[in-house]
Amino acid sequence: MCIKQALRRFGRDDSGATTTDWVVLTAAIVTLGAATAGAVASGTGNAAEGLEECMERSARWLQRDNARTNTHEKRLTRMERGCQNGMKAT
């Protein structure tokens, strides 16, 4: 068999190409999955921190407001407004 025939046979043989395609495709899917998991994890962490801060401030407001706020509804409205405004209320 001459070199020319061997090169032609090698060029026509695609049995390894399918395996290579699957390896590349699988690597891409795993990479996208890892990136998505990282984005979701950081987003839920930020949301949990915001919720924790809102709850702590709400508890302080309730303790302080118990002595001076008229009704329960007014306290809840104030806490809700404070959480929605990024906790800027004092």
pLDDT digits (tens, 9 = 90+) for 36-70: 998 888 778 777 887 888 788 777 777 766 656 55
The DSSP secondary-structure symbol of 89 reads -
- The two tokens of residue 79 are 């806490």
pTM of the model: 0.43
At residue 82, does pLDDT exceed 80? no
SS3 content of the chain, % helix, strand, coil (to 5): 80, 0, 20
